[in-house]
Structure 1
């Protein structure tokens, strides 16, 4: 489907076949990235793998360090015990809430857990407090949440570039202020880390150490301080909302579908048994849990659209000519709700993934929560581990129900549109230890 959005020609791919053509068959031709106006602040787009041209040396260097180092299997395995520790802290906090008969703010706690998991992996320290009843959300936490909302706002400057310099909605100014606050906080941690290294203190072999070591290699491609700040900004903004929103949606769907909740718990009882804690090594045996996560990605993808691509050359796709410079959007939400591919697409049915082999790693275009091709999200391996471990642990240790007032009026499943697809009304649930 071709649209004229403002002064920009945009092609929207809303089927698996069209997505395959754009992301696989013509991957190189459509590997360009449309740079959102808000990311021009502080020249963010010139240092960010998300927005850099895929042909640039810096993009290739960033891709190499993210895929080959930060998110490589051996590196993720090194930090497995850290993920277990953070999820154990989550479970302990939920247990405390259960003893007090207090509701669990599922998305909020999942967000905080994901943030602390990332900050511990990157800086070897926590940046947020799970107990938000007595402690206001921290500065880092608040900035990240606001940044993810603001970047997702429809911005007139992106549809009529001729007036972008006016910043009519003030989006660029808001993003600039948020980036300044975020970078200042991260800069403190980087500076402390660099001083410790200069003083000869033992390195902690966290993500920041890996990145600082990479700066000293011959192929660092201008990996200066600003590039480091932008890379960390991308890691935090992408790695918190995506994981927490998926856990929240999955819990909401399970609360509305008690038979699925029961089947998931039965599987956990069979595989985990009396063990107190679910381990990452258990996830491969939890086939129904994996199906729940896939079904959640299908119904509620992390983002309704993949970030916009741009045609680098004029290309023929399915009999249509797509001129150079055309903006391309892949409608992940529409693909996941296509009745030709998914029977009863609005229904939550994890069983459908037990009957057919469909994965979300970019090879099956019916399910594309993280994209595909060279522009696929490089943090997918970490996000997948976090989501499965958090969800399995919450289901294994607790029985869940909705608060009485929510059960009476019905759970609000309205989606809030933004850079991430989150619940408009945050999910609250009552946990009972088992």
Structure 2
């Protein structure tokens, strides 16, 4: 009897709340209907949630934008949402309203994994964010600091090539190898050593935890769109999964910080990023606490491993589907590096076609096709439309980079399109923004690109590549996996043959 009464109470309370929410949303819609950008018809309570494909929301949004325009308004549950799908709209907004569009929405997973928004990527815009971002750009991701880790990148790429050379009789799992490469480099750069199993024939527990964290951050729950349903996370396993994964990662970070604080620790030959962050923590003029240090470390791992690996996999997948492009890229690399044992970073500046290959891969396969969501901090006007404060903003970087208004044959892999073109991916050309734009653009671009270019050039220099026996290019799967980072859904297995220069 008690359980039935409790169930009835929950149903009545929920129904009443839904009804009041519906009335409130209807009133808000009527008030603003004439001023908001166009968008599709909305269902009560759910709004436009039913029109999004959970696995590929950027595809759903692109289809909707084709009907309603490049500046589109959606109601995702109780969250007003603006979708930007063209370079022209992005240019207008971020040249004049970048500051207003620099907020960040809050979700349960984001709050937990950012140490209560004590990081860069997910922290709300404000004094704290500016202070931490300045530290990271000046001390962690400066050109000088990135250059100082050149030997680490070279050594880890060589280890990956050695593993491939020992595995030539069977298909090579490039999805796993490139992820291990990224993780090993980031671990050595951050902690001075690899995680507990950084060998290329295994995968560490820390790697698994990062993969889980990235999946949880990229997975939307109903509570993110209907906050009053947050209690569901206690029963559907979401809260438990987030808490468990966070606790294990937090323990890992704590152990590394305590190891670096141990006075018995031998003085390292080169300081790692934890050394740098702890030194800033000790500085009387700095206010970097341990939560902020761990928040920065979470940013470095979540943003610095998956994205580089995914870009390498998509690039190799496109090259295997376009043999003439691969041959041209290989001929360039082998012509520049001829006579050396391996590619060196000093060679990269001469590999102009390879740079176009990477640029084209980032155009077709931006690591985060919707970038990191933003939120408006004030009311503002865009053309004839009024955008309310607190509106979530999704920038469809994939739709922008495949807009036929700017790109000829937009869905074809054609690196040559960048010949005699000044378009780059550093945030100044709105047609190509895989790393974002404005104040909230990804600050890790200087860290990611040297790794991607060195690894790609090395794979092309040392080996010839082909599909496994029995597989045809026509049957090659290019489906995208769901998640905050756009991975290839099926693992990339290729056959390698050692290249011998003559």
Conservation of the 8 A alpha-carbon contact between 1:109 and 1:130: no
2:200 corresponds to 1:131: yes
2:88 corresponds to 1:21: no
Seen in structure 2, the aligned counterparts of structure 1 residues 181 and 406 have a Cα distance that, compared at 3 Å, is farther
Alpha-carbon RMSD across the aligned residues, in angstroms, is 1.6
Partners of 1:23 and 1:232 lie apart in 2 by 28
2:412 corresponds to 1:344: no
SS at match of 2:431: coil
Structure 2 partner of 1:76: 146
The correspondence of residues 108-119 of structure 1 with structure 2, limited to 5 A, is 108-119=176-187
Conservation of the 8 A alpha-carbon contact between 1:39 and 1:172: no
Select the residue among 306, 313, 316 that pairs with 1:248. 313
Q: Deviations over 1:223-265 (max 9, x none)?
A: 2222212211111111110000000000000000000000001
Deviation at 1:18, TM superposition (A): 1.6
Structure 1 partner of 2:45: none
Conservation of the 8 A alpha-carbon contact between 1:399 and 1:431: yes
Structure 2 partner of 1:149: 215
In structure 1, the gaps of 5 or more residues are: none
Partners of 1:15 and 1:297 lie apart in 2 by 17
Q: Deviations over 1:106-138 (max 9, x none)?
A: 111011011010111111111243433xx4x21
Seen in structure 2, the aligned counterparts of structure 1 residues 76 and 23 have a Cα distance that, compared at 3 Å, is same
In structure 2, the gaps of 5 or more residues are: 1-71
Partners of 2:130 and 2:351 lie apart in 1 by 36
Conservation of the 8 A alpha-carbon contact between 1:301 and 1:421: yes
SS at match of 1:406: coil
Structure 1 partner of 2:465: 400
- In the superposition, the TM-score normalised over structure 1's length comes to 0.94
Conservation of the 8 A alpha-carbon contact between 2:115 and 2:294: no
Structure 1 residue runs of 4 or more that deviate by more than 4 Å after TM superposition: none
- In the superposition, the TM-score normalised over structure 2's length comes to 0.82
Partners of 1:77 and 1:12 lie apart in 2 by 37
Seen in structure 2, the aligned counterparts of structure 1 residues 297 and 408 have a Cα distance that, compared at 3 Å, is closer
Partners of 2:239 and 2:446 lie apart in 1 by 31
SS at match of 2:424: coil
Structure 1 partner of 2:18: none
Partners of 1:42 and 1:153 lie apart in 2 by 13
Partners of 1:254 and 1:348 lie apart in 2 by 9
Conservation of the 8 A alpha-carbon contact between 1:35 and 1:45: no
Conservation of the 8 A alpha-carbon contact between 1:41 and 1:172: no
Larger gyration radius, structure 1 or structure 2: 2
Partners of 1:42 and 1:426 lie apart in 2 by 27
Seen in structure 2, the aligned counterparts of structure 1 residues 255 and 200 have a Cα distance that, compared at 3 Å, is closer
Structure 2 partner of 1:34: 105
